[in-house]
Structure 1
Amino acid sequence: MPHIGAGNAKLAAVIAEAGMSHAEVARAFVRVAQEMNAMEFSGVGRSHVSHWVAGSKPSGRAPGLLCEALSRKLGRVVTLDEIGLPAPPLSSRDMLGWRVDTLAALTELGRVDVDAERRRVLSTAAYSLAALTLPGGRWWEQMAARGQARGAAGGKMVGRGDVDAVRDMASLFSRVDQRRGGGHARLAVVQYLTSDVASFLCGRYADDALRRDMFTAASELSYLAGWMAFDNGEHNVAQHYFNVSVKLAAEAENPAMAGHVLRAMAHQAIDLGHHKHSLNLASASMDTQRYKAAAPRERALLGVVYARALAVNGETQQAARALLHAEDDLAAASDGDDEPGRVFFFGEASLAHETACALRDTGDLAGAAKQFRRSVKTRKASSFTRTHAVTLGYMGAIQARQGEIEEACATWSRALDAMDGVRSGRTRQVAAEMRSLLAPYKRRSIRAVQDVDTRAKNYLSSFA
């Protein structure tokens, strides 16, 4: 090893920890570059590594490839900071690239998200429509091969108990989200995902089935981080976690998990008004392989969001058929199904809520009101408080549009009761819509109007 002087002592220390010569680092680097189609780096050799240790700076994608090569050898995530290389300027477009390494993207995203200033930059960046264009079939095959290669890397041994622990944490945080909204505990999810779980992803496994299970569990946790950000109105942040979740599902060779995330991305696109993109994503979630691999309950979830995407695109008859199909799928679900824990929330109440949204978007307000009432009646509000509040809010909006303002106020009052302790961008949006729809009535001295408007104003001010 050359005398490094004022060179990169951090990189030298990590290479020494890995017990690798510069030639071995170069060979590991090239293997990673070939896997990631970074063929411009296929000629990297021992002398390049020696120059980097001496203080020269690798360029382009090379720093990330170097981190990945060292991570595989050490069995943990090696960051740019750890090897003495500056992180590149935050670029949402770069981080969302489908060719960006999964674990590199996850690590960088976690570093950004737990830093208040960098998170502010990320959360205010634009939601990317370009990133909604999904890669082709060859990409999925390459990701599966990449996942298999990770399982052969060094690192600590990962067992079945570790997988179960990640699933338990995902279940715990999911239930908090359902009750309290995405504004509670999301950073705790991120910290667990990017520390403990990321180290598992760099580990060794007794067999590939166990590795796939861990990557699926990690995908579920990344999806949850994205869903919580989406619920809290942090749409660009959500998009990044959904992107990582899809990559993890692809490396896990789990088409049902990939469909689950694509469904969430479609839901987000619907809410943001990107209707054509929402239909493309929902259609991808219903791809034959993904749909067939899903349990009946998850098929119903995929199908009802697909119906919503059809509805906002004016495909009324197709949306109606998709809704009926989703009802049939949910009816086919039973307690004996080997269904994943991620669909625990989806039942009759959720199906009715999404059906109501689809009917509302096709202009069938009476049908929408009926389905919202069904959702409210069948939901266990104490466990699914956030969505219960949103459903009541949407139902009140339908009643207001039908001219039933006092009935709307009674419904909205119940919604505001449920919002107590909920931190959610969707509940904030509901409260803002209440005030907008009540504005024409505020001069009529209707006591219920004044009370609901004041309560909605107070709820919104608590987030200012």
Structure 2
Amino acid sequence: MARPVTNSAFEGLLLAAGYGNAHAAFARQLNHAGRHEGSWRYDAASVYWWLRGRRPGEHTQAAMAETLARKLGRPVAATELGFGAADSIGTCVYPASVDGAIDTAEQIWKRLAKQLNQQASGVFDSGKALEAALGWRYDLPDEAVRRNGRQQVTSTDVQSLYALADHFTDLDRRHGSGSPHTRVIMADFLLRQVAPMLRGTYTDAVGRDLMRAAATLSGQLAFMSYDAGEHAVAQHHVTLGLRLTKAADDRLYGAHLLANLATQAVFLGHGREATRLVEAAIDGAGRAPAAVLARLHATAATAYGQSGERRACQLALTKAERALDRTSEDPGPRWVGYFSPAHLAGAALRCLGDLHLYTQALRHAPEALNLSRQNTRTRALHTALIAMTHARAGETDAACNWALKLGQHAVGIQSARVQQRARELANTLSSQQASPQVNEVLRSLPPTSAAR
């Protein structure tokens, strides 16, 4: 059954201009009007979704107004189209086309660059997350992504984007993402540099690599937003990254992004939805390299653990361990090189603790801290997990000792996730605050102001 029209203003303009039953004709005229922006491929389906709430980018809206003005014989302002203000992104929808993804990218990067989301990020939408997973997994691949636009894009240009992504990833791991300034700077770069590249001139091969690089940057910005507690912003960027990986024909990085979305769902308590997201990621990754499979199965274990599925959790951990043992022979893409035995041990701590298997969980504690120096935030997160596991097991002295170490490891880290784990630990220990040792620990923990 067709969805009801929600943009009556746009529908009225189409009817007045004679396009009421000729959506394909309007799309063809629109593509012609926007030819200077590149090879647009809007069609009747695009018009269908615009009528039902999907918001095109500002360049597309300008071309729409021009097309309608020509038919109506009068000026048409973009504000008459009924799409709302530029800072209103609406629901987190998986873009139907590459052009839609480019429009969406421009919208959300502009919003974040202007810091319009800093006071109210919104909430994580598990239903939209599952829709994005289905779109990424089952939509047909894009036949071509080449464009003809204003700016020539070369392979060298694209490689510079990967170098920038590495820089932001390193900053994130060392210091956390709590400060909005880094994210705003990154979004501003994406808006001013990457968005024009996406609308530029490139071959199909360069275009797919460009989509992959843009997905990498969007995925990094998503993870930084998640770490800062900006969950709706993070979901927008993961959804965008998924669509860009589809255009890049890179199923492995798409599976990685979907696993990140599942990790976010676990953090927010959406265990059931997280299992479905990571199962889609594993299914979509197919015969992936061992390092990628290790990461995906570790994420699956945390989702199953939170959902109380003990057998599925332990099976996922076993699969992750076996895959990690094969990584020397099958290392996989460069971006998955971060995933180490310490990261798997952290996942085991989390999921076995959720299943109340505290003794088993704590066997992974030494390995969980065997991290490289730059993984400062992960060290703090794993230290908090160890302290929490001891606390839940009723081992107060050990929990206090590890909590003091958390206070040391968390110095200089700005992370809503670290704050949240510190808050959970403080709540668990607060029932025994009459103890001088517990009181000392509570004073040493990182600030526990509410995460946004």
TM-score of the pair, normalised by structure 2: 0.81
Equivalent position to 2:124, from 127, 149, 157: 127
Distance 2:330 2:72 in 1: 54
Task: Supply the AA of the counterpart residue of 1:25.
Answer: A
Gaps of 5+ in 2: 1-28, 52-63
**Alignment match, 1:193:** 190
Deviations 1:192-211 (A, max 9, x none): 22221222222222x42222
Aligned CA distance change for structure 1 residues 46 and 156 (closer, same or farther; 3 Å): closer
- After TM superposition, the structure 1 stretch with the greater mean CA deviation from structure 2, 184-193 or 298-307, is 184-193
**Alignment match, 2:77:** 57
Distance 1:337 1:311 in 2: 27
Task: Supply the AA of the counterpart residue of 1:373.
Answer: P
Does the aligned pair in 2 maintain the 1:428–1:460 contact within 8 Å? yes
Deviation at 1:387, TM superposition (A): 0.8
Deviations 1:260-310 (A, max 9, x none): 1110111111111112211110110001x4132x33212110111112222
**Alignment match, 2:33:** 25
- Structure 1 residue ranges (4+ consecutive) displaced by more than 4 angstroms after TM superposition: 26-31, 39-42, 44-47, 51-54, 135-143, 461-464
Does the aligned pair in 1 maintain the 2:129–2:239 contact within 8 Å? no
Does the aligned pair in 1 maintain the 2:420–2:448 contact within 8 Å? no
Map 1:180-259; keep pairs closer than 5 Å.
180-184=175-179, 185-205=182-202, 207-259=203-255
**Alignment match, 1:87:** 85
**Alignment match, 2:440:** 451
Aligned CA distance change for structure 1 residues 23 and 429 (closer, same or farther; 3 Å): closer
Aligned CA distance change for structure 1 residues 121 and 50 (closer, same or farther; 3 Å): farther
Aligned CA distance change for structure 1 residues 257 and 23 (closer, same or farther; 3 Å): closer
Does the aligned pair in 1 maintain the 2:147–2:199 contact within 8 Å? no
Task: Supply the AA of the counterpart residue of 1:92.
Answer: G
Distance 2:289 2:206 in 1: 20
Distance 1:403 1:139 in 2: 44
Deviation at 1:152, TM superposition (A): 3.0
**Count of matched residue positions in the alignment of Structure 1 and Structure 2:** 406
1:176 aligns with 2:196: no
Does the aligned pair in 1 maintain the 2:94–2:243 contact within 8 Å? no
**Alignment match, 1:427:** 418
Q: Give the match's secondary structure for 2:447.
A: helix
TM-score of the pair, normalised by structure 1: 0.79
Distance 1:50 1:333 in 2: 60
Aligned CA distance change for structure 1 residues 453 and 119 (closer, same or farther; 3 Å): same
Q: Give the match's secondary structure for 1:443.
A: coil
Q: Give the match's secondary structure for 2:77.
A: coil
Aligned-pair identity in percent equals 23
**Alignment match, 2:3:** none
Cα RMSD (Å): 3.2
Does the aligned pair in 2 maintain the 1:356–1:372 contact within 8 Å? yes
Distance 1:35 1:139 in 2: 23
Does the aligned pair in 2 maintain the 1:369–1:395 contact within 8 Å? yes
Map 1:371-386; keep pairs closer than 5 Å.
371-376=364-369, 378-380=370-372, 382-386=373-377
Does the aligned pair in 1 maintain the 2:416–2:451 contact within 8 Å? no
**Alignment match, 2:101:** 102
Gaps of 5+ in 1: 1-20, 65-85
1:389 aligns with 2:380: yes
Distance 2:274 2:375 in 1: 25
Does the aligned pair in 2 maintain the 1:360–1:368 contact within 8 Å? yes
Aligned CA distance change for structure 1 residues 139 and 285 (closer, same or farther; 3 Å): closer
Distance 1:298 1:346 in 2: 9
**Alignment match, 2:57:** none
Task: Supply the AA of the counterpart residue of 2:85.
Answer: A
